[in-house]
Amino acid sequence: MGDIADVQAAVAEAFRSEWGRVVAYLIRVTGQWDLAEECAQDAFTKALERWPRDGIPTSPAGWLKTTARNRAVDRIRREKAGDAKLREAAMSALGDEESRFDDNGIGDDRLRLMFTCCHPALPVEAQVALTLRTLAGLTTSEIARAFMVPTETMAKRLVRAKGKIRDAAVPYRVPPAHQLPNRLMAVLAVIYALFNEGYSASAGADLVRQNLCAEAIRLGRLLVELMPDEPEALGLLSMMMLHDARRPARVDAAGDLVTLEDQDRRLWDIAAIGEATAVLDDAVRLRRPGPYQLQAAIATCHAAAPTAADTDWAEIADLYRRLAEMVPSPVVALNRAVAVAMADGPEAGLLIVEKLEQSGVLADYHLLPATRADLLRRLGRNQQAEIAYRRALDLAPTDAERRYLAKRLAEV
């Protein structure tokens, strides 16, 4: 018999660590996503009833899995309607799964689930939502709040995605080797999208929304645990941890964004930075560089500098050069311009900015004139800087950014 608070804490802990495992297993053996979620839910409800009375089981994971499976067997038996063949298949699989439940790595059901949730035949918003629902255990209304859409909209999105998985027979498996690199990129993109969504949440935003960063990092950790030899998975995890470590310094008391340069570095989470650096080291040791690892490496350069003035801009400029070779994106090129300007002087950066302006690809992107303005200001060409700041102000999408630019404009 445990103290009721201890038991509730144990159930909450089991929910965080085991929900995805139980759901992923039940989906594999029953082939039915809704049934899997409902039976997993039932098992956790039962744990809240039983554990205070019977004590916390020695293996909470095993208890939950068995309880959820028994519930599924029960429900499938009682299903009068429906496809007899489906029912038989489910019952058959439920009978002989024992040996496969504790598999780790590539045989882990959670990895199958991750790849299926992030299948490119599903719309991206649905990929993100399905991942949060089935692997992280967020409820539909929590996911709706996190993405600021009505619960009904989110529920429809989930129903439609599950319907497509069923009707079009989206496979429930880790893709074969020849598809793996592309499909893994899709999984990483979903986790990163989740992180970005949380990262852009304001301090006043719903707590679920603010917690998206933590959820993304948790999923990143899980992926790394299941695929320890994938350097880009390690790179993504490292990058997310580094950005997250700087979060406390990112917004000032008034709620305004603080640029990296002006952040109070004492607020950074040193322990998290240390761990993230070690994760990146693991990735680099695998000797297969990629965009996430490079972005993590750039973030480590910033994190390693005790003051903004100590930043190794030459190294950052070189990392951006390598990143631009891999990802020919104008935004990466613009970031590179900033780094080059810091390393080799504003004129060198301005050359890259002008090349970008001539290409016309970022014509409506406020950070292009903002960067130009900044470099011109540093060169003492204030009149030209003023024109560029005004152009940036016209294009800036948020109040916080307009306030920031207006402040700069007043300085020239």
Binding site for other proteins (CB under 8 A): 73, 77, 84-85, 87-89, 91-96, 119, 121, 167-171, 175, 179
Instruction: Name which of 87 and 402 has its Cβ closer to other proteins.
Output: 87
What is the smallest separation between the CB atom of 183 and other proteins, expressed in angstroms?
Answer: 9
Instruction: Name which of 4 and 106 has its Cβ closer to other proteins.
Output: 106
What is the smallest separation between the CB atom of 30 and other proteins, expressed in angstroms?
Answer: 12
Nearest Cα to Cα of residue 402 among 389, 388, 387: 389
What is the smallest separation between the CB atom of 402 and other proteins, expressed in angstroms?
Answer: 40
Point out which residues pair with 251 in neighbouring strands: 257
Burial class from Cβ neighbours inside 10 Å (0-12, 13-18, 19+) for residue 400 reads middle
Structure tokens at 137: 């255990």
What is the smallest separation between the CB atom of 170 and other proteins, expressed in angstroms?
Answer: 5
Rounded distance between C-alpha atoms, residue 315 and residue 33, angstroms: 48
Instruction: Name which of 11 and 90 has its Cβ closer to other proteins.
Output: 90
Structure tokens at 356: 């970008």
Rounded distance between C-alpha atoms, residue 113 and residue 97, angstroms: 16
Instruction: Name which of 10 and 165 has its Cβ closer to other proteins.
Output: 165
What is the smallest separation between the CB atom of 130 and other proteins, expressed in angstroms?
Answer: 15
Instruction: Name which of 179 and 359 has its Cβ closer to other proteins.
Output: 179
What is the smallest separation between the CB atom of 166 and other proteins, expressed in angstroms?
Answer: 10
Instruction: Name which of 85 and 287 has its Cβ closer to other proteins.
Output: 85
CA 173 to chain centre: 21
Instruction: Name which of 16 and 166 has its Cβ closer to other proteins.
Output: 166
What is the smallest separation between the CB atom of 194 and other proteins, expressed in angstroms?
Answer: 24
Contact 47, 67 (CB under 8 A): yes
Rounded distance between C-alpha atoms, residue 330 and residue 109, angstroms: 39
Instruction: Name which of 33 and 268 has its Cβ closer to other proteins.
Output: 33
Instruction: Name which of 87 and 391 has its Cβ closer to other proteins.
Output: 87
What is the smallest separation between the CB atom of 103 and other proteins, expressed in angstroms?
Answer: 17
What is the smallest separation between the CB atom of 79 and other proteins, expressed in angstroms?
Answer: 9
Structure tokens at 76: 């499938």
What is the smallest separation between the CB atom of 70 and other proteins, expressed in angstroms?
Answer: 12
Instruction: Name which of 174 and 393 has its Cβ closer to other proteins.
Output: 174
Rounded distance between C-alpha atoms, residue 351 and residue 165, angstroms: 49
What is the smallest separation between the CB atom of 113 and other proteins, expressed in angstroms?
Answer: 15
Q: How many CB atoms lie within 10 A of CB 64?
A: 23
Instruction: Name which of 92 and 104 has its Cβ closer to other proteins.
Output: 92
